[in-house]
Structure 1
Amino acid sequence: MIAFPQPSSYIQLVTPSLPHTASHLPRQLSLIVCESLTCPVLSPKYQMLNPQNQFLNSLFEGQKPLVREYVSRIKTQSELSPGSPQFAGFIFDAFATGLKDLANEFDVPWYAFCASDAAYLGWVMHLKALQDEQGVDLTELGNSDSELEIPTLASPIPVKCLPLSSLVKETLPIALEMAGGLTEAKGILVNTFLELELHAVNSLSNGKTPRVYPVGPIVKHEGDGRDVGSDGSKNSRIDIMEWLDDQAPSSVLFLCFGSRGSFRSEQVKEIACALERSGHRFLWSLRKPSPSGKLKSPSDYENFQEVLPQGFLDRTAKIGKVIGWAPQVDILAHQAVGGFASHCGWNSILESIWFGVPIATWPLYAEQQFNAFYMVIELGLGVEIKMDYTMDFQGDDDIIVSADDIMRAIKQLMEEDKEIRKKVKEMSRISEKTLMPGGSSHSSLGHLIDDIIENLP
């Protein structure tokens, strides 16, 4: 069992024998799996008062005594009770490598878990090389309109598609610190699979990066059973699924932009216009932005009429449905869904691939622009709405994507590009096989366990 605990809690990973691995463990092992600690988005004022990565470092320092106490209890129990799990090491989230000193204290190996794609992991590692080995001023690079070659990408990537947080002086030290920490790991688990990212994974086998273990796709196969909505039954999970049941196979475009995804009213009206003009069936998860300057997640609208064009809901009543919160996994798994307009978070991408639903890319923040480029240009598994769209964490952006551009992408995704649909369906089949005995991720997990055994203290 692999479990990622909530902040300030730590869970024992016990693997007496895993039938889905290449080998069986001769004894019980105990690993501590530490999730990236949840922290607020840093406002410019806070960044000025707390430069570079001071905030995260202080956060990690505050967590170390809790982890130390928990591990000490495990080790004591192991010594006093023969047959109890033996402590073997740590698995840290890639953003929590600031806890790595604990592994040295207990004289055990530690591994990192990267929840993003292998190509993006390569960018993080290349970022440090650009500064340390080539002397590149990364903050100046962020103002460039040029393209950049990255070892884990076969195609040059426009700088404007790189994560902004990697190229601004306030947050660049955090990215560099993470990259430096990852080089010290015994190995890096990545939520991907070899067949999807063959070039990227092979590029990381360069002797400069710890061994990479593709162990994905780690995705939810069913929803959480939640059945709530902002306007009662109209937005309930049951009502959503019943509406989908009435639609033809692969006929519905699903629009959903993640837990922080929302648009201001001007952009909402352009999306609505595009959907109405396209004539395609749609299911739209429309969230209300938090008030400007407030670091809160979007909420559901009390009344969609306040933001949508007048008469839109009536005119599209036979072909579309607007909802608030969306049970994304359940929707993507439904046979009626034939396209997914997405913010391109890596989890959402893996879910779309798992269920064989092609993507129209509309990234918003973090590494999503990188992922959008990756899906459209590098892997050929999506179409572009706008790859370099960027907003800040308050949901503000000067860019308005026109209804014409949105409609063009909808038609390409739902009508024209049969090759992308075919490729996604094939990758979906491969993603299932990779987790089965003999599959690449199945074998990779087995190699990881073998490595853990070989490095037992």
Structure 2
Amino acid sequence: MGNNMNNVANRHNVKLDLILRTSVFSSPTLTTSAQISSVRMVVVLIPGQSISHLTPMMEFADVCLRRGLAVTVVVPDPTLTAPAFRSAIYRYASRLPSLAVHSLPPPPAHPHSLGAVHPFIRMQAAFRSQAPGLRDFLRSLPAVHALVADMFAVDALDVAAEVGVPGHLFYCTGANNLAVFLQLPSFCSRSGGDLKDLGDAPVSFPGVRTMPASHLVDGVLDSGTELYAAVLDVLGRMSAARGILVNSFEALEGSVMAAIREGRCLPEHANPSVYCVGPLIAEGEKEEERHPCLPWLDAQPERSVVFICFGSRCTLSLEQITEMAKGLEKSGHRFLWVLRAPPAFAAAAGEPDAALSLLPEGFLARTADKGLVVTASWVPQVDVLRHASTGAFLTHCGWNSTLEAVATGMPMVCWPLEAEQWMNKVYIVEEMKVGIEVRGYKPGELATADNVDATVRSIMDMESEGRRTVMERALAVKESAAAAWKEGGSSFAAFTEFVKQME
């Protein structure tokens, strides 16, 4: 299987390099807007290797191509990437014929294994190893007007500066998180101790809602780790970018964008230009046959189903799956649950449907008239959120999922699990006001069946004043999201500004 995958990857790589040589400077159809320059400019993109980072950047590539720019995506040697990453790249290359993709040569073998270190540290090592190949590639091109790298690929900014190319970052999460991340290095240096010792004590950052210290990203909570140093090093170098492109839009995060632009988040440094160019959402591939969950939704009453999905990577513990099931059953509400087993169990079981064995005995039979449990690795999330039968979205608060809910006007139930998701929960509930949080749920704790039951009832009860308030706000934000990329909209204008500064 591994050799077959490598053979396929190599064939695709030949195809993609051919695309690079033959079409990177060809002339696609230009937009008719006079706001976009007719001069063909070249943008090189450096995506992150996780799907959650890759997908919005590839959607940004699509925007660039439709606005008349020439786009090359630079990726690692295919043998160094996961199958899901390669599959996504090939899918976008097929969908976007004028997209050029260049794979870097494999770096020299590292003398020390990085298998045991934190994934963030491994990621930084991978970005550093790509620097020589990226430098050579940029120098080989006749002209590059901008390099746009993943938010954590700050080493690419150094390469861009060395070869005289304006270096930008693509920030695939929200502007509120950007404001916090820009301030964390100085905040941590002033704290004088471990942030984990603050527990749930409130912490404040200019322009951003106050939040419990425990909601900050794990990497900065313990100052005595290699991860702490690596995270703060990356965050501290973000401000060196010529500009930062954020997957958000002004109507959603206007107040924090104002704080960033006014210099309140970086009072001691020059402020990079920040452009809100979202929402950038993957619509998904058009399938000949509908996913089985969609006909099931067709048969349910309008706004009656709570959709439960924790993204492509996050999973619940075995104990939490049991509590979730009990709470859903107790609530009596309809549900569509995308169930993924914890990695250790999934690896041992081998079959996706084995996850069903983790549910309480008799659960599926007792809820057969109310719920559907899906164990497939992929569901058409945007289609589910748009469906008339879906009434709420129980989500891990990943930013891609958050934007999909925002763009479809779907109220959220916030169940964060890791990374910046706890911070997102604060913004969704308190700033954007398009969701509620799971009652009594804190980092590292179990959400009980009673809390699940009470939370589902509160968001699905059609008579609830809280539901009406959230629903009204969600629908208003949906309209703003749709307007952002229309001619004259905030994201359209921000992208135009980004293009103009390249001239």
1:123 to 163, 180, 186: 180
Q: Distance in 2 between matches of 1:21 and 1:201?
A: 26
Partner of 2:453: 407
After alignment, is 281-290 or 258-267 more displaced?
258-267
Question: If the length of structure 2 is used for normalisation, what is the TM-score?
Answer: 0.75
Q: Distance in 1 between matches of 2:374 and 2:213?
A: 35
Question: Structure 2 unaligned runs (5+)?
Answer: 1-11, 51-79, 82-111
Partner of 1:101: 158
Paired amino acid for 1:31 = V
How far the C-alpha of 1:48 sits from its partner, in A, is 11
2:47 to 15, 35, 39: 35
Partner of 1:71: 138
How far the C-alpha of 1:127 sits from its partner, in A, is 0.4
Paired amino acid for 1:443 = A
Partner of 1:255: 308
How far the C-alpha of 1:15 sits from its partner, in A, is 8.8
How far the C-alpha of 1:53 sits from its partner, in A, is 7.9
Residues 211-252 of structure 1: CA deviation (Å, up to 9, x unaligned): 11000000123x33569xxxxxxxx95321111111122111
Paired amino acid for 1:432 = A
Partner of 2:285: 224
Which aligned pairs between 1:381-400 and structure 2 lie closer than 5 A?
A: 381-385=434-438, 389-390=442-443, 399-400=445-446
Pair 1:15–1:259, CA change in 2 (3 A):
farther
SS of 1:62's partner is helix
After alignment, is 245-254 or 256-265 more displaced?
256-265
After alignment, is 279-288 or 86-95 more displaced?
86-95
SS of 1:247's partner is coil
1:315 to 340, 345, 366: 366
Q: Distance in 1 between matches of 2:236 and 2:312?
A: 29
After alignment, is 168-177 or 433-442 more displaced?
168-177
Paired amino acid for 2:381 = Q
Structure number with the higher helix fraction is 2
How far the C-alpha of 1:131 sits from its partner, in A, is 3.6
Partner of 1:393: none
8 Å CA contact retained: 1:192, 1:215: yes
Q: Distance in 2 between matches of 1:18 and 1:138?
A: 54
8 Å CA contact retained: 2:408, 2:478: yes
Which aligned pairs between 1:270-419 and structure 2 lie closer than 5 A?
A: 270-291=323-344, 301-303=352-354, 305-325=356-376, 326-385=379-438, 389-390=442-443, 399-415=445-461, 416=464, 417-419=467-469
Pair 1:428–1:310, CA change in 2 (3 A):
same
Residues 248-296 of structure 1: CA deviation (Å, up to 9, x unaligned): 221110000012222233211211111111111110011111117x9x8
Partner of 1:432: 482
Residues 159-197 of structure 1: CA deviation (Å, up to 9, x unaligned): 111111222333222322222221111111000000000
Which aligned pairs between 1:230-241 and structure 2 lie closer than 5 A?
A: 238-241=291-294
How far the C-alpha of 1:373 sits from its partner, in A, is 1.4
1:449 equivalenced with 2:499 (yes/no): yes
Residues 309-361 of structure 1: CA deviation (Å, up to 9, x unaligned): 12111111111101113221221121211100000000000000111111000
Partner of 1:182: 238
1:214 equivalenced with 2:276 (yes/no): yes
How far the C-alpha of 1:57 sits from its partner, in A, is 4.8
Residues 31-63 of structure 1: CA deviation (Å, up to 9, x unaligned): 1110124599xxxx9889879987555423321
8 Å CA contact retained: 1:385, 1:406: yes
- The higher-RCO structure (CA 8 Å, 6+ apart) is 1
Paired amino acid for 2:362 = G
How far the C-alpha of 1:411 sits from its partner, in A, is 1.2
Paired amino acid for 1:162 = L
Which aligned pairs between 1:157-168 and structure 2 lie closer than 5 A?
A: 157-168=211-222
Paired amino acid for 1:279 = G
Paired amino acid for 2:390 = V
How far the C-alpha of 1:140 sits from its partner, in A, is 3.8
Partner of 1:3: none
Q: Distance in 2 between matches of 1:373 and 1:331?
A: 25
How far the C-alpha of 1:405 sits from its partner, in A, is 0.7
8 Å CA contact retained: 1:339, 1:413: yes
Partner of 2:71: none
Q: Distance in 1 between matches of 2:355 and 2:490?
A: 46
8 Å CA contact retained: 1:21, 1:446: no
Paired amino acid for 2:490 = S
Pair 1:288–1:149, CA change in 2 (3 A):
same
Corresponding residue pairs, total: 413
Paired amino acid for 1:175 = V
Pair 1:317–1:52, CA change in 2 (3 A):
closer
Measured on the aligned residues, the alpha-carbon RMSD in Å equals: 3.2
Pair 1:400–1:388, CA change in 2 (3 A):
closer
Pair 1:37–1:243, CA change in 2 (3 A):
closer
Q: Distance in 2 between matches of 1:68 and 1:164?
A: 33
Paired amino acid for 1:164 = D
Paired amino acid for 1:224 = E
How far the C-alpha of 1:305 sits from its partner, in A, is 4.7
Name the % identity. 29
